[in-house]
Amino acid sequence: MGGCVRDMLLGREPKDFDVSTDAHPEEVAKLFRNCRLIGRRFRLAHVHFGREIIEVATFRAQHSGEEEGSTIENGMILRDNVFGGIEDDAYRRDFTINALYYNINDFSVADYTNGIDDLQAGTLRLIGQPEVRFREDPVRMLRAVRFAAKLGFRIAPETETAIWAMGGLLQDIPPARLFEEVLKLLLNGCAVQTYELLRHYDLFKYLFPETDRCLGEEEEGYPHMFVLRALENTEIRIADNKPVTPAFLIAALLWEPVRSTVHKVRQKDMTEAQALQIAGRDVLAEQTRHVVLPRRFTTQSREIWQMQPRLIRTGTKRALRLVEHPRFRAAYDFLLLRALAGEDVQSQCDWWTRFQEVDDEARHAMCQGRKHSGQQRRSRSKHRKEEK
């Protein structure tokens, strides 16, 4: 059902296969000993086969919020466990292209919402009245952007109009829920197009308001390019099957507000590292009000930020220890992105790139050479003063 049927019809390889049935979750659990029921807002059965998990959903039906198993508050669905038939379920789906069912009895595709027509036209259309459906679950606006970017589809005009008008509803979504949505948005291999659509529909500001504010400003007459360069890099890494950690993504998305805050909090007797520590703490505290970022990731993000001043000080014996730091590679990659975005750190990038390419003897020579050069400069300066 849903995404896997859509992807197969588009000639894409489905990420996974989900099952939909008229059996209730408890009935599915009785059939499979390796089944676990999850979710409260939306009750599901997960059937485990080794490392594989088959998600089994029960057909849902339309409801008003008064039925047992449902809760609606201010138009938003808080619990959706009113069960029905397959046609009822189709009209409860979000987009027409996600309301397609593959029937294993006769190997046919069941389409109740003209999803195949929209699939062929490359149109992303919400089922039902967009204002009602977005009010039921504002996260559907983020899903619209994600699918449009991933599939290269055009959002239907009536759906698009509602997104423009109702983006503010995302502020009512629990910040803890939005973190997973952010990962789906930006780790889908289409990060740049997704990001551009988020900004186009003015949704990005509800996820990362401080970053959005910084992006609206210019630095020395040039727009801030760091986030865009980071997302381009994310796409390349995903295409090359290289890992992309949420910690690095968080560090990149919040770097502009961190830089801005450093200038505000730094005092005369404060080092850049100390200012970075305060700025990182303040920016993350503010960000948590909008999207909750797990501590296991933000701790690593702060380390990436904290290492930036240490990477600027090249040519010292500390470099030999710094290159062994578990977060060195991420911090070095971050420095490369800073140079790519126009920050004046290219010479440091070149030095660290060279430092990693040579053997231990050459590394010691690079450190001692810079130290020796510094001693020579100080000696020449002292000599000039004595002559005066």
User: Residues with catalytic annotation?
Assistant: 16, 18, 94
Provide the residue count of the chain. 388
Instruction: Give the number of C-alpha atoms closer than 13 A to the C-alpha of residue 119, restricted to the C-beta side.
Output: 20
Assess contact for 135 and 169: CB atoms under 8 A: yes
First to last CA, the chain: 86
Q: Which residues contact 200 (CB under 8 A, 6 or more apart)?
A: none
DSSP-H helix ranges across the chain: 3-9, 25-31, 86-92, 115-121, 130-136, 139-151, 157-166, 175-186, 191-200, 204-207, 209-215, 226-239, 246-253, 255-265, 272-287, 295-312, 318-322, 328-340, 346-357, 360-387
The two three-digit tokens of residue 244, written as one number = 């992309």
* Distance from the Cα of residue 211 to its chain's centroid: 14
Cα separation of 85 and 80, whole Å?
Answer: 14
Sheet holding 19-21, edge to edge: 19-21, 52-58, 44-49, 35-38
Burial of 251 (0-12, 13-18, 19+ CB in 10 A): buried
Collapsed DSSP state (helix, strand, coil) of residue 102: strand
Question: Phi/psi at 101 (nearest 5 deg)?
Answer: -125, 135
Q: Which residues of 48-80 are buried (b: 16+ CB within 10 A; e: fewer)?
A: eeeeeebebbbbbbebeeeeeebebeeebbebb
DSSP 74: T
Q: Which residues contact 41 (CB under 8 A, 6 or more apart)?
A: 77, 78, 79, 80
